[in-house]
Amino acid sequence: MIVTLIALLLLLVSIVHGFYTSTSIRKSSSSSSSLSSLSMLINLDVGLAMDKLAAANAEALARKEGSQLLGKATGGIKALLRCKLETMKDKPAVLARLLEREGCVSLVKVISDETADELRAFINEESDRVKKEVEKGSIGFNDRFGGVNCRGLVGMFGQRQDFFLPISNTLVRKALKEVMTNIEPLLKETVTLEGRIHEVSCLIADNGAPRQNIHADTIVLPCPQYPDAHMEPMYTFFVALQDIDDSMGHTQFLPRTHTPEIHLLWNVEQQQKEMLLKSREVVQSGLKKGDVSVFDSRILHCGMANTANKRRILFYFTLSKSLFWPLPGGLHGSNSIMVEDRYRYQVKDIL
């Protein structure tokens, strides 16, 4: 329905544009400035309409992936592996090897209810404040918000936001320290205490946030386009700041899709992508407040739609042994971090 309406809008805009272009030939030079301004507005409207059309098509594709492809030939959607902190602390090397192989695991209760509640309240207040500043023009959108798959079609911010969080903030740093302290044995086995903090942010999904397309957050390096680039695995930690029920939308992962071979099969035409999606196992996080999903940034995954009348917030950070992303300007990398915090902190600085 949305796609049809936007298509009709594009047709109407093109007709109006054609009318004014043809009549402008008969106008005197004194009206050329007005016609130029009108043409600029029409071109802007066309651009916005095209953006909405692309977004609507992406959302339609995401719905198809969820309803027709994922889990249909592999026995349905399964639960993401959950591990107690005690088990992780007793067998960190085993869990690290499992994460390396599967690309995703989850841990139970890595942050206290008190800390989760404090950070959630701060994020709600701070995001409201920053949105007002962005709307006034005193803060640039890209200074605090990142690009996000299937943002939603409502307003400037949509129903899903990637909202950067400052490490200098007391509550943000407290939460980082608490999580990292609790999972320190796993960090030592994966990114080490010398590892870099590449991202600190949160994903906010409000009522109406659409299902995301299956995607990877970063590419595999080296790859055919960048044969000389190398990057150690980047691990992202999604921490739930509230219980997440089915209506709020979980994260779905396709285990063992973080490899060069799978990415080569993924980066082709749509029919091949759909064949790949049908053939892969799918697991789904079912996080409670304080739980964390840990995943390789190259794994194929998506966030599900939020149909509940309540907000879902995931506090997250991304770590790697590699201190810098090798491609210029963060190209194809994980970049959700405040400018002043980029490449500034290592894990040991927080612990």
148 and 183 together in one domain: yes
Report the chain's mean pLDDT, rounded to a whole number: 89
Q: What are phi and psi of 316, to 5 degrees?
A: -145, 155
**pLDDT tens, residue by residue, 7-36:** 544 444 444 444 344 444 334 444 555 656
What is the sign, positive or negative, of the torsion defined by CA atoms of 247, 234, 75, 73? Answer: positive
Helix axes 170-182, 113-136, angle to 10 degrees: 140
Sort 232 into a burial class: Cβ within 10 Å, 0-12 / 13-18 / 19+. middle
Q: Is residue 162 part of a domain?
A: yes
105 and 31 together in one domain: no
Q: How far apart are CA 305 and CA 156, in angstroms?
A: 19
Q: How far apart are CA 150 and CA 211, in angstroms?
A: 7
Percent of the chain with pLDDT over 90: 79
Q: How far apart are CA 184 and CA 180, in angstroms?
A: 6
**pLDDT tens, residue by residue, 105-135:** 999 999 999 999 999 999 999 999 999 999 9
Tell me the sheet residues that pair with 324.
none
**pLDDT tens, residue by residue, 182-204:** 999 999 999 999 999 999 999 99
Q: What are phi and psi of 153, to 5 degrees?
A: -105, 10
Q: Is residue 195 part of a domain?
A: yes
30 and 157 together in one domain: no
* CATH number of the domain that residue 90 is part of: 2.60.120.620
346 and 247 together in one domain: yes
Domain containing 56 equals 2-63
Q: Which residues contact 252 (CB under 8 A, 6 or more apart)?
A: 70, 77, 282, 283, 284, 285, 301, 302, 303, 304
Q: Is residue 313 part of a domain?
A: yes
96 and 197 together in one domain: yes
Residue 45 — pLDDT band, cuts 50, 70, 90?
A: low
249 and 277 together in one domain: yes
42 and 188 together in one domain: no
Q: How far apart are CA 94 and CA 91, in angstroms?
A: 5
CA-CA distances (angstroms) from residue 339 to 44, 133, 161, 198, 335?
30, 17, 18, 11, 9
153 and 11 together in one domain: no
55 and 134 together in one domain: no
226 and 193 together in one domain: yes
Q: Is residue 70 part of a domain?
A: no
| Spatial contact of 120 and 273, defined as CB atoms under 8 Å apart | no
Percent of the chain with pLDDT over 70: 86
144 and 176 together in one domain: yes
* Predicted structure pTM score: 0.88
Residue 151 — pLDDT band, cuts 50, 70, 90?
A: confident
Strand order in the sheet with 292-296: 82-83, 104-107, 292-296, 234-240, 312-320, 196-205, 160-164, 145-146
Q: How far apart are CA 185 and CA 110, in angstroms?
A: 13
Determine the 3-state secondary structure of 309 from DSSP. coil
